[in-house]
């Protein structure tokens, strides 16, 4: 089982949303990491056949998916950022409706729907109307409908956006459990979503792949680029505005420990620190946030990535 993305390109007028991106996906979780606007959703829509590439192609086990047609759609599960649902439907009504659209036998559809609702933690909620669900419950319903047809390829676009930390952890565990025998492509700009479950990570920037590999290998790319320095507390805010900082922790005695990413130490007394995936993310996207905005470099990522 192999999904090949071969020099995928998508243009919208003069704008290149995805630029000759190539990757080979095998069973496991593949995290697609990038800032908003990096081209993640456009790429996933091409993978799902919703959007036609300007050039390049997607192949499943060597066969172009454009040629496979319905056979490819039958082995595909897709959860877009905002999946459509009917608010007045109950969870079970919605699952059975989606099963009918996917061509499942009616009797088998009910049994599978109930089993999946239980698996995603919605047992006992199947008769509730979806409009009464929390965001986390709706997302769990979304992944349940995405795997109704037991897909071989599961595509999840920003599935944890807007969830609280507890719901995000639960959702990541669900994804990991479904990924044992499937190709899972999970896009996000929240580092912790892929840090714990991804077998491989593809980092996108401006529509192109800039890094790809197992998490540990990617983290090593930031080695020698992460620094920590203890400074007077009154200097911390100015350093956060000037540097690409990942953290500033205030200590006793009017001091602060500032952690930042840079090609070379920029604060006197800086010591090299062991990198994390978050540090790598900040290093890759360090030029994307204007330095003139106080705390902007840190907040652009940490607002979602660390605090949910």
Q: What is the pLDDT along the chain (308 residues), one digit of tens a residue?
A: 999 999 999 999 999 999 999 999 999 999 999 888 899 999 999 999 999 999 999 999 999 999 999 999 999 999 998 888 899 999 999 999 999 988 888 888 999 999 999 988 899 999 999 999 988 899 889 989 999 999 999 999 988 877 788 888 888 888 888 888 899 999 988 888 888 889 999 999 999 999 999 999 999 999 999 999 999 999 999 999 999 999 999 999 999 999 999 999 999 999 999 999 999 999 998 877 544 333 434 333 333 333 33
Q: Where in the chain is the domain with CATH 3.40.50.300?
A: 3-219
The residue written with tokens 């990198």 in the block is 275
pLDDT of residue 212: 94
Q: Which helix (H) or strand (E) holds 95?
A: helix 91-101
Q: How far apart (Å, rounded) are the C-alpha atoms in residues 155 and 185?
A: 5
Take residue 211 and report the two structure tokens written for it.
Answer: 């890094």
pLDDT of residue 167: 82
pLDDT of residue 22: 96
C-alpha closest to that of 10 among 60, 44, 35: 44
Take residue 51 and report the two structure tokens written for it.
Answer: 């959007």
C-alpha closest to that of 160 among 139, 137, 146, 177: 139
Assign domain 3-219 to a CATH class.
alpha beta
Rounded to two decimals, the pTM is 0.84
Q: How far apart are the first and last CA of the chain?
A: 34
How much of the chain is helix, strand and coil, in % rounded to 5? 35, 30, 35
């Amino acid at each position: 089982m192999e999904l090949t993305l071969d020099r995928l390109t998508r243009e919208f007028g003069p704008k290149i949303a995805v630029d000759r991106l190539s990757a080979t996906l095998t069973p496991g979780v593949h995290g697609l990491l990038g800032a908003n606007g990096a081209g993640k959703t456009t790429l996933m829509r091409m993978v799902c056949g919703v959007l036609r590439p300007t050039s390049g192609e997607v192949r499943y086990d060597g066969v172009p998916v454009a040629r496979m047609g319905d056979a490819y759609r039958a082995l595909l599960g897709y959860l877009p950022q905002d999946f459509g649902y009917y608010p007045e439907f109950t969870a079970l009504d919605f699952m059975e409706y989606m099963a009918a659209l996917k061509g499942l036998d009616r009797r088998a559809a009910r049994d599978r729907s109930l089993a999946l609702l239980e698996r995603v933690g919605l047992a006992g909620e199947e008769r509730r109307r979806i409009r009464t669900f929390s965001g986390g419950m709706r997302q769990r319903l979304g992944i349940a409908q995405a795997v109704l047809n037991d897909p071989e390829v599961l595509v999840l676009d920003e599935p944890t956006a807007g969830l609280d930390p507890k719901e995000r952890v639960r959702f990541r565990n669900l994804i990991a459990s479904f990924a044992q025998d499937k190709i899972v492509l999970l896009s996000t700009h929240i580092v912790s979503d892929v840090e714990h479950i991804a077998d491989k990570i593809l980092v996108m920037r401006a529509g192109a792949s800039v890094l790809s590999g197992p998490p540990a290998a990617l983290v090593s790319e930031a080695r020698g680029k992460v620094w920590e320095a203890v400074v007077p507390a009154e200097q911390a805010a100015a350093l956060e505005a000037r540097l690409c900082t990942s953290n500033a922790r205030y200590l006793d005695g009017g001091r602060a420990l500032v952690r930042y990413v840079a090609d070379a130490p920029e604060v006197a007394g800086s010591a090299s620190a062991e990198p994390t995936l978050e540090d790598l993310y900040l290093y890759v996207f360090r030029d994307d946030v204007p330095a003139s905005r106080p705390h902007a470099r840190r907040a652009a990522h940490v607002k979602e990535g660390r605090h949910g």
